[in-house]
Amino acid sequence: QPCWSEYLMTRIEQNMVVNCTCPISECRAQPTTAFIYSIVSSEEIIAKYEKALLRRYVECCSNLTWCTNPQGCDQILLKDGLGYGAACSKCSWISCFNCNFPEAHYPASCSHMSRMTCAKCSHGFCWRCLKPWRPNHKDYYNCSAMVSKAACQEKRFQDYNERCTFHHHAREFATSLRNSISSIREMPKIRNLTFVLDACKVLEQARKVLAYSCVYSYYNQDTESMDIVEQQTESLELLTNAL
C-alpha cells in the first residue's frame, strides 16, 4: 500500500493520473476511482485528483468548455444555445465558442482573429507566422507576416493597429475606474454610485466594440457596406469619448 500511495500521489501531482496504469510494465490495468480513494488519504491530493477528473470530463464533452477569462475563472460553460452576448454567470466574461480567441470579438469575425491558443498547454501563437504570441505580438494583431504581405498596406495596417490598441488600453482604464468606484462605494457616507458603475460597464463594452471594429474594417475595406460601418464606428467613438 505505501508503494501504491506514493505512486498515485506522484501521478496526481504531475497531472498524469487520468490515464495512469499499473506500475508493473506488462500490466495495463488502470486504477479505479474507488481504489484511489482507498489508497490516497491526503485531502489536498484527492482535491487535485477530482479537479483532474473534471478537466478530463470537460475536454471529452464537445458542448462544454471553460470560461476563457484571462484573469482566471473556473466556471464551466455550456456551448449549446449560447450566442453572442452570453456572459459567464460567475465573472461576466463573454467568450467566443467558435474560435480560440479568448473573448467574443464582435464585429470582427473569427477568421479575422490571429491569435491561437493550445487547449492543452495554453501556449499562445500567431497562426499567420506561427511565432509565439509574446513578446513579438504583445500588441493586438502586431504580426510581421501581415505587414509584409504588401508594403503599400503597411501604413494602413499600422493606423488600424494603433487605433485598436488605443481602444483596448482605454477599455482597461474603464475597468480600473469601475474597480476604483466599487471600492469607494463601500465607504460610509458615500451616496449611491450605481449609475457611475453602469456607465463604466457601458464604456468597457463600447471600447471593446470599437477595438474589434478596427479589425473588421481592416479586413473589409473594399466592401460596399464599409462607408456605413465607418460612419457608425465614428459615431460610436464620438459618443464613447463624451461618456
Could you read off the pLDDT of 61-89 as tens digits, one per residue?
877 888 878 777 888 887 765 444 467 88
* Inside any domain, residue 30: yes
State whether 151 and 36 are in the same domain: no
Q: Are 196 and 204 in contact (CB under 8 A)?
A: no
Nearest to 203 by CA among 165, 241, 161: 241
- Domain with 190, as residue range(s), is 116-242
CA angle 106–132–111, rounded 5-degree value: 30
With b for 16 or more beta-carbon neighbours within 10 A and e for fewer, the 123-139 pattern comes to eebbebeeeebeeebee
State whether 122 and 148 are in the same domain: yes
User: How many other C-beta atoms are found inside a 10 Å radius of the C-beta of residue 70?
Assistant: 10
pLDDT class of 147 with cuts at 50, 70, 90:
very low
pLDDT class of 179 with cuts at 50, 70, 90:
confident
Half-sphere exposure at residue 27, Cβ-oriented, CA atoms within 13 angstroms: 8
Its pTM stands at 0.54
* Inside any domain, residue 110: no
Which pLDDT does position 135 carry in this prediction? Answer: 59
